[in-house]
Amino acid sequence: MPRLVLASQSPARLATLRSAGITPDVVVSGVDEDKVLADAADRFGDLDPADAVLVLAQAKAEEVASRLEESWAEDDAEAPADVIVVGCDSMLEIDGAVVGKPADAATARERWRSMRGTKGVLHTGHWVVDLRDDAAGGTGGTLGSTSSTTVWFADIDDDEIESYVATEEPLHVAGAFTIDGLGGPYIDRIEGDHHGVVGISLPLLRELFADLNIPWRTLRTV
């Protein structure tokens, strides 16, 4: 059975995988996101949000994969035969502009006042690094893709916004909202994959694993 390593500290991503029967190890990446994006812009020019989240997901997955390989070498231990690393990153796009995590409560309030009654696109980049050895079917592959889902926000009043921001949930998530938590009642509808809005698209991930000859069923622990 392949062993999945999630290169993310997101509780929502971890919970989503667990609810699908997968219990990953978590190794949080140490990449400097601003530097990664600046370097990518120098190489490729301005990135649209769908490309930016993919660049960040790749950086996170490959940094963790490299760190794991270095730790195995330093400990002079035999590397696990079955490790696969997954990195993710999410951004909300509204009217062509990227909206990240709000810096503080005031920013979150203003964000929601501008979002209410409108729509945005939640982009989540996914990157997979295959560290399995040959005997375990390893391909050495590294590949990814982006999930993009349109989100319609409810036209809520200032008191509702104030109450939601006071929970502090909006301060810790891309776009200042969740669909699977306290923010769920404020999302009128979506077009696309629900899991992509949570932060990790299970259908897209299944397709990436299939490209590496990893059937989804082999990842489940239940």
Are 173 and 101 spatial neighbours (Cβ–Cβ below 8 Å)?
Answer: yes
For residues 149 and 125, give the distance between their C-alpha atoms in angstroms, rounded to a whole number: 12
Backbone torsion region of residue 45, taken as left when φ is above 0, otherwise alpha when ψ lies between -120 and 50, otherwise beta: left
Find the DSSP H helices in 142-213.
Answer: 158-166, 194-198, 202-211
User: Which one-letter amino acid corresponds to residue 95?
Assistant: D
- Per DSSP, what are the bridge partners of residue 121? 93, 150
Active-site residue, selected from the candidate residues 34, 51, 89, 159? 89
193: Cβ contacts below 8 Å, ≥ 6 apart: 147, 149, 201, 202, 203, 204
Selection from 186, 179, 199 nearest residue 56 by Cα: 199
Is 46 designated active site?
A: no
3-class DSSP state for residue 189? Answer: strand
Selection from 195, 86, 88 nearest residue 142 by Cα: 86
For residues 119 and 121, give the distance between their C-alpha atoms in angstroms, rounded to a whole number: 7
Catalytic residue numbers, as ranges: 89
